[in-house]
Structure 1
């Protein structure tokens, strides 16, 4: 543990972030002219799983219909029913995995409704989200084609709440069996000769709530029954994912890890942040500095949330065989005025971008156990990457964060030791900076969030190894804390070049703008 000896500086908080093989530490200072960051290799190599940068697409609002899917007969330019501009934008993110069809929708979805000729598919009512009628034109084949076009893994969420073990077993067989059987032959009849490679299968979703309002004891028994029928057919290996807790429900995690740890490959965790409560979550665009500060505080709490659940997982699974998937996360606001109830359409500001950067940094830092995360959601819903309106499309500030952070995928986590100034408001204090770093093929990749909405932060960075030969990067910020991209002004918030103020040997100095997310790569001799 490093001790800073400076009588003129008052230490107000000391925070440790465990990564098991080493310790990344953040020291928050009351008075510091220059923030200091030291980066070195971990004592034990840890890889940042690409799947940490995963996404989530549910049959909710205009995420699927009017977002990801317009149909092959649409006047909107499309690739087999998927809008060309949406597809190309998502490709730029190097999406590693996409979760579908829900969410709450998954536990009322019967997959056989979404296969076969489209004019013969039954219409259904989406009872969770707006009571709208859906025609099932986007189903298993369309989703798997989307994953192929994005070159990403498929994460299927199975129906436990209203489905049967037989229905789940049939879906896995339909998807993954290469031999002759009723389900495999049905797949061929519907136009797909070879099976798909489905790596992830969720056994239910939010079964503590919309997926059946179960107790952890009851669900653990249900899980053990259903997962029995998620078969691994020849040439296929499906990871079984148990429904994990809602945010801070450590008891749910305790029961599932105790009862089911030998029968699951991973367990999920959901965590949404807001500035109000579930009845009034707060406005996505109309807010002041108190709401900004509150959201930063709530985003930072993800480190303690992860630590609490990982502690329980370590107790029952010391060999680290069960992976933690944060398969729903993000900022959740009141719906945009004028939008349809139940569609969860919201705008996306620079505040959301900074909070997303904090989440991704913390997922990186906990990568020994966190092997996947899926932001909610991909298009037109909650903290979306993309917003569409007819033929128009805009990229949100959160999209740009994912594009900036994508270079961490598959990188080797670096140990970061940060001495940061305090960011305060009304007597409360937070660390002004939040950071993670990884060793990649291109160099040392560093991402830093400046939570301070009022002032820039200067940071001095020392990197273990050779002298610095090159630094290049970008930063995302805006004039106002509620700046966003609109269909009239689609580029209000976008990245701009970030240049090092000074480079000397193994040390560089940067000026990080207020309310910003920055990403840069450092090359060494």
Structure 2
């Protein structure tokens, strides 16, 4: 009998995956002994000036027959408030390093226009700028995460933007904010110092970027009530040297976090990425192999960070993640519009389980992207709106926000396709302030149900309830014509057996349980 071990970072977290041939059973043990909190900011979102993410997504034409505040679409706002998104990253992405914030303030009719050279070559009219973004965050009741321009900007430009946002002085730039309708400072704390500085943000070397970060960060000042959480532009996927250089050369006290970007590409190739809706079981399996690589990336980058920051003061901020497929046929390829299937929901749940299990180092993340771009939570078409399967994962998993992380040990069968194997089940668990325990389980096997028997250490419970997301096929999607094909349902496949919990996970499903 072969065994493979998957290490979940954290002194108390260990997931052991054991092959059981054709067996469809496994065990899960959960400990209540933990001092780690799963930060709510792991459940963050990303909104870039890209395709119809901002324009036609959050920010719509005045004539569109939907409820709006100014031009902010309110049915979108209400949907995102329901899942309690904790932060929203803006204005990019690659767009951030060509964005000059002064172009997006003042009377809309007087704002200059530009060409969005990164995404589709379309005209950007700057009608959605700083004030509009912060009004959106206010409506969403989430924290803004602003990505500053290091690639084509200046230290003074970023410094003045922070002053404009956060200062309560009587300086010229603050008077300008007051003139533009906001007398009180916004007090924005999360601040990205550049984006993908190894690529579209300037094609820098890690040493050059580390020096740039220190220079920009030195002039990014704290103002009363707004201590900055500065996030350095971190590595692309498995560029471990980038992490090494940044952690070695940037003092831990200067940065809140180091970012990591990794996308699940179904084919593993940036050329032909694969379809969002038409794929074989072999292609599905390969996509899950690529999704599970996030475990390796987080583990190895965290180990490097531990060398220089053993007290874990610096967060690993995975502020771009998700599945990236070929765009939908007939759409502008520069708009990155793709459909969202049950497969994508399984990817989201698996990735969030990884983040939860590494919550001692992963303190913040952002799915790419919120609306109409890549692995969206929401798709819109004029007045129509549909919630994607990925949206429902965030709805299920919101119970883990700011809850106590519970270490797990999982022993379950493999999922095998064409002689290759991956763990069929992944999981994470937490305990909220009221003492309720929540367990999220994913069965990646598209054919077999799997029964998991769970034991507990230092945890007492009496009742269990749950929710499930599944569908007949992993290629199933929600459409404007059939918006509820995939939706949450009550789950009745869990029961108490003595002091054990026995749960049968249907094939290709995500289940979140609540134990009282």
Q: TM-score, normalised by structure 2?
A: 0.97
Task: Name whichever of 78-87 and 147-156 sits farther off.
Answer: 78-87
Q: Which of 190, 193, 211 is equivalent to 2:201?
A: 211
Paired residues of 1:468 and 1:505 also in contact (CA < 8 A): no
Count of equivalent residues? 512
Deviations 1:284-338 (A, max 9, x none): 0110001111111111111111011001100011121111100000000000001
Deviations 1:145-184 (A, max 9, x none): 1111111111000000110111101100000001110111
Matching residue of 1:268:
259
Counterpart-to-counterpart distance in 2, 1:11 and 1:96: 41
Counterpart-to-counterpart distance in 2, 1:74 and 1:487: 17
Matching residue of 1:419:
411
Residue aligned with 1:311, SS: helix
Matching residue of 1:515:
508
Matching residue of 2:365:
373
Matching residue of 1:504:
497
Deviations 1:40-87 (A, max 9, x none): 123x41000000000000000000000011155543321231112111
Q: Which of 370, 384, 388 is equivalent to 2:376?
A: 384
Q: Unmatched 5+ residue regions in structure 1?
A: 1-9
Deviations 1:333-355 (A, max 9, x none): 00000111200000000000001
Matching residue of 2:399:
407
Paired residues of 1:72 and 1:79 also in contact (CA < 8 A): no
Inter-CA distance 33–449: structure 2 relative to 1 (3 Å threshold): closer
Paired residues of 1:207 and 1:243 also in contact (CA < 8 A): yes
Q: Which of 460, 475, 488 is equivalent to 2:468?
A: 475
5 Å matches for 1:139-288?
139-262=129-252, 263-276=254-267, 277-288=269-280
Counterpart-to-counterpart distance in 2, 1:18 and 1:139: 39
Matching residue of 2:30:
39
Matching residue of 1:75:
65
Residue aligned with 1:309, SS: helix
Q: CA deviation at 1:12?
A: 3.2
Q: CA deviation at 1:465?
A: 4.0
Q: CA deviation at 1:467?
A: 5.0
Residue aligned with 2:27, SS: strand
User: Is structure 2 residue 341 aligned with structure 1 residue 349?
Assistant: yes
Q: Which of 46, 50, 56 is equivalent to 1:60?
A: 50
Matching residue of 2:87:
97
Matching residue of 1:4:
none
Task: Name whichever of 211-220 and 391-400 sits farther off.
Answer: 211-220
Task: Name whichever of 256-265 and 386-395 sits farther off.
Answer: 256-265
Counterpart-to-counterpart distance in 2, 1:33 and 1:492: 28
Matching residue of 2:6:
15
Deviations 1:102-145 (A, max 9, x none): 00000000000000111111111101000000111100001001
Paired residues of 1:200 and 1:238 also in contact (CA < 8 A): yes
Q: CA deviation at 1:429?
A: 1.0
Paired residues of 2:236 and 2:261 also in contact (CA < 8 A): yes
5 Å matches for 1:106-125?
106-125=96-115
Q: TM-score, normalised by structure 1?
A: 0.96
Task: Name whichever of 291-300 and 354-363 sits farther off.
Answer: 291-300
Paired residues of 2:464 and 2:495 also in contact (CA < 8 A): no
Matching residue of 2:119:
129
Matching residue of 2:353:
361
Matching residue of 1:5:
none
Q: CA deviation at 1:30?
A: 2.5
